[in-house]
């Protein structure tokens, strides 16, 4: 069995001057990049069983653009712990997923999302750009079997 995890860093956001980081919105560039990504993925018949998303404004906007562009009919879970999550917190979130789910899109923030990518692939150099999507495949039957270095890039 194969489990797939797609990591998406939110699109480029406006500067945080005079606002909380949590409240930052996507810039016009961020909207454009995420819109293009969702259009390209829809042409490739991209689909996932579940979307996990940080509840920060820019990640929710990224999620909205993706779900609309992909015509995604499934479930989206907004999880507070994804915002400012450490690698370990994100890893535990993945390990606790329901095993009936085979593919997940996780929309989050740096540095946690880049560090999770490195952790799962056993690498040490990923620095995800805003709006970047990385797919990881793992030869496991249960999410609880996911471990450090088990993932391969799609």
Three-state DSSP class for residue 26? strand
**Given pLDDT bands bounded at 50, 70 and 90, which one contains residue 57?**
very high
- pLDDT tens across 95-139, in order? 999 999 999 999 999 999 999 999 999 998 779 999 999 999 999
Reported pTM: 0.96
What are the φ and ψ backbone dihedral angles of 26, each rounded to 5 degrees?
A: -70, 145
Total domains in the fold of the chain: 1
Nearest-angstrom CA–CA distance, 60 and 44: 23
Residue 122, domain CATH: 3.40.50.1240
Nearest-angstrom CA–CA distance, 100 and 142: 9
How confident is the prediction for the chain on average, in pLDDT? 96
Q: Centre a 10 Å sphere on the Cβ of residue 52 and count the other Cβ atoms it contains.
A: 23
Three-state DSSP class for residue 5? strand
Domain residues for 122?
Answer: 3-153
Cis amide bond preceding 90, omega within 30:
no
pLDDT of 5 strictly over 80: yes
């Amino acid at each position: 069995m194969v489990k797939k995890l797609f990591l998406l860093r939110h699109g480029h956001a406006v500067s945080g001057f005079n606002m909380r980081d949590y409240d930052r919105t996507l810039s016009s560039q961020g909207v454009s990049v995420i819109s293009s990504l969702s259009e390209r993925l829809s042409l490739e018949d991209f689909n996932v069983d579940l979307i996990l998303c940080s509840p920060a404004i820019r990640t929710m906007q990224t999620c909205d653009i993706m779900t609309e562009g992909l015509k995604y009919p499934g479930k989206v879970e907004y999880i507070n712990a994804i915002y400012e999550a450490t690698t370990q917190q994100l890893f535990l979130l993945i390990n606790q997923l329901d095993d009936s789910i085979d593919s997940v899109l996780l929309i989050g923030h740096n540095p946690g999302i880049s560090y999770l990518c490195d952790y799962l692939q056993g690498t040490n150099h990923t620095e995800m750009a805003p709006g970047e999507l990385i797919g990881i495949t793992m030869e496991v039957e249960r999410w609880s079997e996911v471990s450090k270095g088990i993932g391969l890039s799609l």
